[in-house]
């Protein structure tokens, strides 16, 4: 079978947004404690931050990091996590039925972002709290000095303001599981009031209103419309959250998960633009896809602590990813890039241990899951502009999505370096795919790198002892000659081909 498309730098979707390559650190399980922060670890630095995790974080190539939740934020008091350790309270974390020791908080997080070279993206609690507490944490973070809370930050050792620009107005407020869950009118009003007040402090903030926590939730569509009716003028983004898993051994449907994400994005864009039309607004609301990943969510109920058991940093949501999961992550990244005109921010949920590309052992090693690779490669190679590619591809039948193209692809073109990069997934579970690309519009070009993440077993995983079992290997089949590029993509594979 052969799939084809044409590459032309004139077919430009939008610039690659670096914020597409964000991730997420929540106080959940071992993401923070024994994840990014473990003062007793041999690799811990002077701030208790694991330097081995910092090194992998830099290699992953992330831009923004969303913090401190997630469901956790809807019951969180941000001031519990600042100041002398001896004064910080131990609290119940109702979202994850755990105990929160608060030995890691805002200051430790900001220090970690500086060392990791990433942009912090903070969420405020609109579950148990409201406008005032959002203003307080903003004042603490962003005001230079001379007020009670900015001076408190200085007293806590941070002379310069943190300059946090992106703020999420709560988390998944549409979900009945959320502490302080609200209906769309209640949340829309609160989000608008909070945003308006936060903009009085700093009109240049970038604010994210909660969209739906999944496209299957019954309020999807109406939720976005109602929330934006209230908040359109004072927010910049509406969020999307989506998680995918292989169900009942249906690998074919699972590999086509991006079809669901494509539809989700199209529906949210249409809904936001509908509100724009009604309001005669000049402004467009973009999407912050600030939680996305493969997550075997169906296993969660068995994992959560219960009753009198309120552990600190339990092993929760430690999904162990296989090759197929990594190919789906790659395909979801392709979708985000293809929609770069409207999806200008995204966060892989999450960064360490909790549904994460990086795993750690307490006191032990840090290692890369299979899903690390497509993310790191896309982040490193996607520069310049996203190009529109319109493949013709053989299709295959899926139970969930009907006939789906076997090839899923996008490309980027960097004028400055005269480099074009193709990102492609072969969704076939059993057959290699020949790819033929018309490159005439690029002029003289050659393949400078070609990598494939594939293998005989779609269920192969990496482990702490064998961390490189599933990792990208050179693909020698990729060759460019005058005006065309040919490559063979193995079944269930993620591929990167670089031309310059």
CB 102 within 8 A of CB 88: yes
124 or 496: CB nearest ligand AHR: 124
- Closest to ligand AHR by CB, 171 or 439: 171
User: Quick check: 291 binds ligand AHR (CB under 6 A)?
Assistant: yes
Please choose, from the candidates 74, 109, 62, 141, the residue with its C-alpha nearest in 3D space to the C-alpha of residue 349.
62
Size of the site for ligand AHR (CB under 6 A): 10
Q: How far is CA 49 from CA 35, 39, 43, 203, in A?
A: 9, 7, 8, 33
Nearer to ligand AHR among residue 168 and residue 409 (C-beta) = 168
Could you tell me the smallest distance in angstroms from the CB atom of residue 452 to ligand AHR?
A: 29
Cβ-closest position to ligand AHR: 70
Which residues, numbered 168-187, are part of the site for ligand AHR (CB under 6 A)?
A: 171-172
- Nearer to ligand AHR by Cβ, of 171 and 212: the residue is 171
Nearer residue to ligand AHR within complex by CB, 110 or 349: 349
Rule CB under 6 A: which of 229-248 touch ligand AHR? Answer: none
Q: Which of 26, 100, 172, 224 is catalytic?
A: 172
d(CA 65, CA 205): 16
- Give me the 332-361 binding string for ligand AHR, x by CB under 6 A, dash otherwise: -----------------xx-----------
Residue 243 Cβ vs ligand AHR, minimum distance, rounded to whole Å: 7
The two three-digit tokens of residue 26, written as one number: 């929540």
Query: Could you say which of 26, 38, 107, 291 is catalytic?
Result: 291
Shortest spacing between CB 350 and ligand AHR, in angstroms: 6
Q: Does 319 contact ligand AHR by CB under 6 A? A: no
Angle between helices 323-338 and 372-381 (to 10 degrees): 30
Count the helix, strand and coil residues of the chain and give each as a percent rounded to the nearest 5: 30, 25, 45
Least spacing, CB of residue 232 vs ligand AHR, in Å: 23
Cβ atoms 363, 41 nearer than 8 A: yes
For Cα atoms 167, 168, 169, give the angle at the middle one, nearest 5 degrees.
115
Least distance from ligand AHR to the Cβ atom of residue 223, Å: 15
**Distances in whole angstroms, Cα of residue 490 to Cα of each of 1, 92, 319:** 12, 48, 25
Q: Is residue 164 within 8 Å of residue 122, measured between CB atoms?
A: yes
Q: Is 172 a catalytic residue?
A: yes
Tokens of residue 11, six digits: 């077919």
Chain positions 448 to 467 lying near ligand AHR, rule: CB under 6 A, are none
Q: How buried is residue 429: exposed, middle or buried, by Cβ count under 10 Å (0-12/13-18/19+)?
A: middle
What's the min distance (Å) between Cβ of 220 and ligand AHR?
14
Nearer to ligand AHR, 228 or 354 (CB): 354
Least Å from the CB of residue 32 to ligand AHR: 13
HEC string for 449-487 = EEEEECCCCCCCECCCCCCCCCCCEECCCCEEECCEEEE
Q: How far is the CB of 316 from ligand AHR (least distance, A)?
A: 9
CA atoms within 13 A on the CB side of 320: 9
Q: How far is Cα 200 from Cα 139, in angstroms, rounded to an integer? A: 11
Tokens read off for 31: 């993401």
Buried/exposed 382-399: b ≥16 CB within 10 Å, e otherwise: bbbbbbbbebebeebebe
Nearer to ligand AHR, 353 or 419 (CB): 353
- Nearer CB in complex with ligand AHR: 8/26: 26
Residues 12-71 interacting with ligand AHR (rule: CB under 6 A): 26, 69-71
Q: Is 127 in the site for ligand AHR (CB under 6 A)?
A: no
Whether residue 46 lies in the annotated active site: no
Contact footprint for ligand AHR (CB under 6 A): 26, 69-71, 171-172, 213, 291, 349-350
Q: Which residues are catalytic?
A: 172, 291
């Amino acid at each position: 079978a052969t799939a084809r498309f044409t590459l032309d730098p004139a077919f430009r979707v939008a610039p690659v947004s670096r914020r597409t390559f964000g991730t997420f650190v929540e106080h959940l399980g071992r993401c923070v404690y024994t994840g990014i922060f473990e003062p007793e670890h041999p690799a811990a630095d002077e701030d208790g931050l694991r330097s081995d995790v910092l090194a992998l974080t830099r290699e992953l190539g992330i831009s923004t990091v969303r913090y401190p939740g997630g469901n956790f934020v809807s019951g969180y008091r941000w001031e519990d996590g600042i100041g002398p350790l001896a004064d910080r309270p131990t609290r119940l974390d109702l979202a994850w039925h755990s105990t929160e020791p608060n030995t890691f908080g805002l200051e430790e997080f900001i220090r970690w972002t500086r060392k990791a070279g990433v942009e912090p993206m903070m969420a405020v609690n609109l579950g148990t709290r409201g406008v005032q507490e959002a203003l307080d944490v903003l004042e603490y973070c962003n005001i230079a000095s001379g007020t009670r809370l900015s001076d408190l930050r200085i007293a806590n050792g941070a002379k310069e303001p943190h300059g946090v620009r992106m703020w999420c107005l709560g988390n998944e407020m549409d979900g009945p599981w959320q502490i302080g869950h609200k209906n769309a009118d209640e949340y829309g009003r609160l989000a608008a009031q909070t945003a308006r007040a936060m903009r009085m402090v700093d009109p240049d903030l970038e604010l994210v209103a909660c969209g739906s926590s999944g496209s299957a939730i019954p309020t999807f569509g109406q939720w976005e419309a109602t929330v934006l009716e209230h908040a359109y003028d004072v927010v910049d983004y509406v969020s999307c959250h989506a998680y995918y898993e292989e169900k009942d051994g249906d690998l074919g449907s699972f590999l086509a998960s991006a079809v669901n994400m494509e539809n989700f994005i199209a529906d949210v864009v249409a809904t936001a633009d509908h509100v724009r039309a009604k309001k005669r607004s000049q402004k467009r609301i973009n999407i912050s896809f600030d939680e996305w990943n493969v997550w075997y969510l169906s296993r969660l109920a068995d994992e959560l602590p219960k009753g009198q058991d309120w552990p600190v940093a339990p092993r929760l949501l430690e999904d162990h990813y296989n090759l197929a999961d990594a190919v789906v992550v790659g395909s979801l990244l392709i979708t985000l890039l293809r929609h770069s005109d409207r999806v200008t921010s995204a966060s892989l949920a999450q960064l360490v241990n909790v549904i994460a590309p990086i795993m750690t052992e307490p006191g032990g090693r840090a290692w890369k899951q299979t899903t690390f690779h497509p993310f790191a490669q896309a982040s490193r190679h996607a520069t310049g502009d996203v190009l529109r590619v319109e493949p013709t591809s053989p299709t295959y039948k899926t139970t969930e999505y009907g006939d789906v193209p076997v090839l899923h692809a996008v490309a980027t073109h960097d004028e400055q370096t005269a480099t074009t990069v193709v990102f492609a997934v072969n969704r076939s579970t059993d057959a290699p795919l020949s790819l033929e690309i018309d490159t005439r519009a690029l002029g003289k070009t050659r393949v400078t790198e070609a990598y494939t993440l594939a293998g005989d077993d779609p269920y192969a995983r990496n482990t702490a002892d064998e961390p490189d079992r599933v990792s990208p290997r050179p693909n020698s089949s990729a060759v460019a000659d005058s005006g065309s590029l040919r490559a063979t993509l193995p079944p269930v594979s993620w591929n990167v081909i670089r031309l310059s």
